[in-house]
Amino acid sequence: MPAAKSTRGDIAIVGYAQTPSLRDANPSEVQLLVPTVTAAIEMAGIGRREIGFTCAGSCDYLTGGPFAFVSNLEAAGAWPPISESHVEADGAWAMYEAWMRLQEGDIDIALAFGSGKSSPSNPAEVWAQQLDPYYLAPLGVDPVSLAGIQARALLDSGKATEEDFARAVVNSRRNAASNPNAQLRDADASVEALMAQPYFRAPLRKHDCPPISDGAVAVVMARGDRARELCARPAWIRGMDHRIEAHQPGVRDLTSSPSTALAARKAGYDGGPLDVVELCGTFSPQELILLDALGLSLDGDTKVNPSGGALAGNPIMAVGLVRIAEAAARIIDGSANRALAHATGGPLLQQNLVCLLEGE
Amino acid sequence: MTDTAKEHMVMEHLVTLTYHERLTENLNRYADNLLEGRIIGAKCPSCGRVFVPSKGYCSLCVVPTTEADELELPDTGIVTGFTIIAPVNYYGQKKTEPFVYASVLLDGADTTLGGMDITGVAHSDLRSGMRVKAKWKPRGERSVEAMSNRGWGGFGDVVESFEATGEPDADEEAFKEHLF
């Protein structure tokens, strides 16, 4: 086998597709994926059999069946057999694995997808199970309550106010108004109107929390000249990195996200100008924490979550890869030249992934 | 806490997760038809393979199938493979006597129905290739409650079993690509 040259920095997104974020989709998860994966492949202009590696991200706890992820693979066309893998994580981590695989240099095209239907389950019940089995899971601590603790810590630290939370939501709702795939859209959203709403889980109001969503997303990556052949303006992946903090939220400073800052640095983000940032802050205070970790703000030159972000649609297990697809879309359509996308996993921003994308 | 000599601490953590799920459109039509004693499948518009029940897509061609691709199938077919299970008394096991778990390929179908009971034949005489016909439960006793979008359940509660017809066995060529 010839020695493969390092191809890091020479891999690009050349196709993507997503379903709208839906409160309650009747099709099964794999039925959501079939047209989505096909659309991403068609956008890339490749044949299905040209894909050298496929990686999928999903969560059997969401689907409610052991090995549910296996049928999702049928959306990739798994006969005759293909080279594939699965991560029990957001599709962004599937993309990370596929990107690593491409760097071996022996294949030119890889497919990553993520999917999840939150509607059949009670997310408060399901996500308590990702906490440690001794102290927190038996208490049944749900994501909204945990996010409330984080929001309170952020207020107490003086880093943000409840109005700041509302400002993040206004940015999301207004941007989402022009995104047909978003679930919660409101071109007229205002801080005053949001602040007049009652608390849902104090200090969080309902709009500070993500919607319950079903959805799927797929991304096609290609290497070097193959990427240039397939796409007039590929979204080059300059770097991708993910970092993990302590699992137990009680031992962390919940008001900051050092793992996001580190992942961004390792992905090659040097603090230089960014046209777009797509953040997977599923609660409004988390969006502020992430912006702070990246040295950005809602008022800066960088457009924050032009898609509306996770507050406008939260198809868990797809939502992170959606952020990357949205950032790539801005590069490919020429409206941005440098974009950063973020995905998260675990309780309260425990794990964070950053992907830095650039045009030519 | 346990009462063992060693002082292990055992924490009970019983988890119940509840899911509410509507059947997909294709399975909903399949279930409605089963209650009426009809079996429908979906024919792939690309390769012509017939899936029973419809998945809503062809898993080989990766193209969607719709109601327009659905067709009724006969309730006769071939036993492609089987096992005879001697039940172990584990939690939830209601059977006490050996029973059959067979895959049945309906005539005109490309996928098998799994976990079917075969009657009208001694266990020792059961064979792959044996011709069978559905023995439907009375209309009021049919249920599709156990059917799910996850690909199992349902059929076993609308029929009592598949019964051997006594016809000559099918040639192995007819089913060797459809063993499971």
Instruction: Report the residue from A26, A37, A65 with minimal CB separation from B24.
Output: A26
| Residue B94 DSSP one-character state | -
CA–CA distance, A340 with A345 (Å, rounded to integer) = 17
Instruction: Report the residue from B18, B60, B149 with minimal CB separation from A28.
Output: B149
Largest CA-CA distance found in chain A, in angstroms, rounded: 66
Structure tokens at A65: 């069946």
Q: For position B176, what pLDDT does the model report? A: 87
ipTM value, please give it. Answer: 0.89
CATH of A11-121+216-235, one of 3.90.230.10, 3.40.50.720, 3.40.47.10, 3.40.50.970: 3.40.47.10
Structure tokens at B63: 């193209």
Taking 90 as the threshold, does the pLDDT of residue B6 lie above it? no
Give the β-pairing of A235-244 and A351-358.
antiparallel
Which residue bears the tokens 């108004």?
A177
Give the distance from residue B119's alpha carbon to the nearest chain A alpha carbon, in angstroms: 31
Taking 70 as the threshold, does the pLDDT of residue B3 lie above it? no
Contact assessment for residue B78 and residue B131, using Cβ atoms and an 8 Å cutoff? yes
The tens digit of pLDDT for each residue in B61-77 reads: 999 999 999 999 999 99
The tens digit of pLDDT for each residue in A311-359 reads: 999 999 999 999 999 999 999 999 999 999 999 999 999 999 999 999 9
CA–CA distance, A2 with A62 (Å, rounded to integer) = 43
The tens digit of pLDDT for each residue in B15-39 reads: 899 999 899 999 999 999 999 999 9
Give the distance from residue B59's alpha carbon to the nearest chain A alpha carbon, in angstroms: 5
Do the domains at A11-121+216-235 and A123-209+238-358 have one common CATH topology? yes
Structure tokens at A248: 């137990």
Q: What is the CATH architecture of A123-209+238-358?
A: 3-Layer(aba) Sandwich (3.40)
CA–CA distance, A11 with A235 (Å, rounded to integer) = 8
C-beta neighbour count of A300 within 10 angstroms: 13
Q: What are phi and psi of B105, to 5 degrees?
A: -100, 110
Q: For position B91, what pLDDT does the model report? A: 87
Q: Where are the domains of chain A?
A: 11-121+216-235, 123-209+238-358
Contact assessment for residue A53 and residue A220, using Cβ atoms and an 8 Å cutoff? no
Helix, strand and coil content of chain B, in percent to the nearest 5, comes to: 15, 30, 55
CB contact under 8 A, A61 and B17: yes
Q: What are phi and psi of A131, to 5 degrees?
A: -85, 170
Amino acid at A57: G
Taking 60 as the threshold, does the pLDDT of residue A4 lie above it? no
For B14, name the nearest residue in chain A, comparing CA atoms only.
A138
CA–CA distance, A223 with B105 (Å, rounded to integer) = 45
Amino acid at A93: W
CB contact under 8 A, B62 and A74: yes
Structure tokens at B177: 């690509």
